[in-house]
């Protein structure tokens, strides 16, 4: 009887087009959209060359330091247009350039539109030139004070040497810093929770107050617990197939990086699906409304959870973690996302296990709640 029910449950679930769409196709479509939207973001974060203008007047021509520095920087940082003041103003207005530099009455001036990182770098470079000038002057003054022999050439050279000396920094930046990965992790988490719809559908079929089919089941001479178990297993199988497809798609088509530990990833996928499944069963037993409403509730809760774990803006998860941690401690989507994140980013496993245990607790609570409710049920109205 167990296998019989399992078989028919699987058949029934796979033939439900709408259900299959939610669990299988929808996340894959979303993953594709993410991929389209995010493919350039991280590339864009590196510094690109940008346009500036320099007012090419005699004062500028006479300032050797300024001239040579910009000539040197033209290779890496700036695309420079040498022009007159009117043209420079016009370019700025049309936002063709980030800003322009003008040397007038011994003062260097920068004109920009707004504050921004490129404007800041422009300013930084000019500051740097001025500082070198200032440092040289200072050293010259010191030399004058200590001995009367002044070798300008030598001092200037010394300053330049000091300034150009490689600064030694101990860079301990972690690898695996690609934060758009979070977007895919929330998607996996969302799919796990949507799996709740599968659990809900097959549980509904077993409940006499939810469907005529349920009434039929209720009057059959089979133990309800046995039926529930087999239908739950059937839903779990369907859900895992959906999640597995999404994993394969994100790994092989999109190239999402899940770190290098494969078994923990599989484990969290299995337990995450379990959490989604039990969530769906709990909704099916607790909420005494029609199926459309139940689906609506599952989707709404999943959307809130996904939002809080960063689906509509990656930093949301961090902000919630930092300021309203309790929200994400009870949020299964966040547990799954965080588990995958810790596998990707952290070399140690403590955080991963914390999330796994949280998910197990969540699932247990959902199962207990459903069981209590199921035992209590003697329908007031069918």
Partner 1 sequence: MTVFKYFFKVMKEYKWTIVLYTVLLVGFAGFNLQTSDNSTNFMASKPDILVIDNDNSKLSKNLESYLKENANLKELENNEEKINDALFYRDVSLIIEIPKGYSNGIINNDKKDIVIKSTGDKEAEYGKMLLERYLKISNVYEDIKNEDLIINKINKQLESSVQVTIKSKLNTTELDKMAFFYNFANYSLLAGCVFVISTVLNSFKTKEIKKRTVVSSYNYKKYNSNLFKAGTIFGIVLWLLYLLISVILLGSSMITLHGLLFAINSFVFMICATQIAFLMGNLINNKEALNSVVNIIALGSSFLCGAFVPMQFLPDSVLKIAHILPSYWFIKNNEFIKELEVINVQTLEPYITNIIIIIIFILIIQIVTNIISKKKRKFD
Instruction: Give the footprint of partner 1 on residues 17-46 (CB under 8 A).
Output: 18, 21-22, 26, 29-30, 33-34, 36-42, 44-46
Cα–Cα distances in Å, from 310 out to 170, 183, 201, 316, 335?
A: 32, 7, 28, 5, 12
Rounded to 10°, the helix 291-308/315-323 angle is 80
Residue 368, interface with partner 1 (CB under 8 A)? no
Binding region for partner 1 (CB under 8 A) out of 146-154, 171-179, 214-222, 361-369: 171-179
C-alpha torsion 135→139→144→146, nearest 10: 150
Binding region for partner 1 (CB under 8 A) out of 133-141, 219-227, 242-250, 278-286: 133-141
Least distance from partner 1 to the Cβ atom of residue 371, Å: 27
Q: What is the largest CA-CA distance in the chain?
A: 112
8 Å CB contact between 366 and 275: yes
Residue 345, interface with partner 1 (CB under 8 A)? yes
DSSP structure string for 265-323: HHHHHHHHHHHHHHHHHHHHHH--S-HHHHHHHHHHHHHHHHHHTTTTSTHHHHHHHHH
- Closest CB to partner 1 among 128 and 257? 128
Residue 57, interface with partner 1 (CB under 8 A)? no
Cα–Cα distances in Å, from 158 out to 70, 92, 132, 146, 162?
A: 21, 38, 11, 16, 6
8 Å CB contact between 13 and 201: yes
Among 4, 72, 226, 322, binds partner 1 (CB under 8 A): 322
Binding region for partner 1 (CB under 8 A) out of 207-215, 255-263, 270-278, 306-314: 306-314
- Closest CB to partner 1 among 168 and 378? 168
Residue 317, interface with partner 1 (CB under 8 A)? yes
Least distance from partner 1 to the Cβ atom of residue 223, Å: 31
Tokens representing 169?
Answer: 């920094």
Report how far residue 274's alpha carbon sits from residue 293's, in angstroms, rounded to the nearest whole number: 22
- Closest CB to partner 1 among 109 and 225? 109
Residue 73, interface with partner 1 (CB under 8 A)? no
Beta strands 99-104; 107-112: pairing state: antiparallel
Among 79, 300, 375, 382, binds partner 1 (CB under 8 A): 300
Residue 326, interface with partner 1 (CB under 8 A)? no
Residue 152, interface with partner 1 (CB under 8 A)? no
Interaction pattern, residues 264-293, with partner 1; x per rule: CB under 8 A: ----------------------------xx
- 237 membership: H or E segment, kind and range: helix 224-248
Phi, psi of 291 (to 5 degrees): -65, -40
Residue 156, interface with partner 1 (CB under 8 A)? no
Residue 245, interface with partner 1 (CB under 8 A)? no
- Closest CB to partner 1 among 8 and 50? 50
Rg (CA), the chain: 32
Residue 95, interface with partner 1 (CB under 8 A)? yes
Residue 106, interface with partner 1 (CB under 8 A)? no
């Amino acid at each position: 009887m167990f296998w019989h029910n399992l078989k028919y449950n699987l058949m029934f679930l796979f033939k439900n087009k709408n259900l299959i769409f939610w669990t299988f196709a929808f996340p894959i479509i979303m993953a594709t959209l993410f991929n389209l939207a995010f493919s350039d973001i991280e590339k864009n974060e590196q510094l690109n060359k940008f346009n500036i203008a320099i007012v090419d007047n005699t004062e500028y021509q006479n300032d050797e330091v300024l001239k040579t520095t910009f000539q040197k920087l033209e290779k890496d940082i700036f695309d420079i247009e040498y022009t007159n003041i009117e043209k420079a103003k016009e370019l700025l207005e049309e936002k063709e350039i980030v800003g322009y530099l003008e040397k007038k009455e011994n003062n260097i001036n920068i004109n920009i539109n707004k504050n921004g990182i490129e404007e800041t770098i422009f300013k930084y470079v000019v500051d740097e030139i001025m500082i070198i000038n200032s440092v040289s002057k200072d050293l010259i003054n010191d030399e004058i004070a200590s001995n009367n022999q002044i070798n300008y050439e030598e001092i200037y050279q010394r300053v330049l040497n000091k300034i150009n000396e490689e600064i030694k920094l101990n860079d301990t930046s972690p690898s695996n810093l690609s934060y758009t990965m979070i977007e895919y992790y929330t998607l996996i988490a969302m799919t796990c929770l949507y799996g709740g719809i599968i659990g809900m559908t097959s549980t509904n079929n077993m409940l006499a107050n939810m469907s005529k089919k349920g009434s039929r089941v209720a009057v059959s001479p089979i133990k309800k617990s046995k039926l529930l178990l087999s239908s739950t297993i059937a839903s779990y199988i369907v859900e895992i197939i959906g999640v597995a497809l999404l994993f394969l798609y994100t790994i092989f088509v999109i190239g999402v990086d899940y770190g290098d530990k494969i078994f923990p990833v599989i484990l969290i996928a299995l337990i995450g699906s379990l959490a989604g499944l039990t969530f769906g069963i709990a909704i099916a037993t607790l909420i005494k409304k029609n199926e459309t409403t139940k689906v609506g509730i599952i989707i709404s809760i999943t959307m809130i959870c996904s939002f809080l774990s960063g689906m509509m803006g990656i930093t949301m998860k961090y902000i919630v973690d930092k300021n309203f941690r309790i929200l994400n401690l009870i949020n299964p989507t966040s547990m799954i996302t965080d588990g995958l994140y810790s596998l990707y980013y952290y070399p140690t496993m403590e955080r991963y296990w914390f999330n796994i245990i949280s998910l197990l607790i969540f699932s247990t609570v959902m199962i207990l709640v459903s069981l209590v409710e199921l035992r209590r049920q003697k329908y007031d109205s069918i």
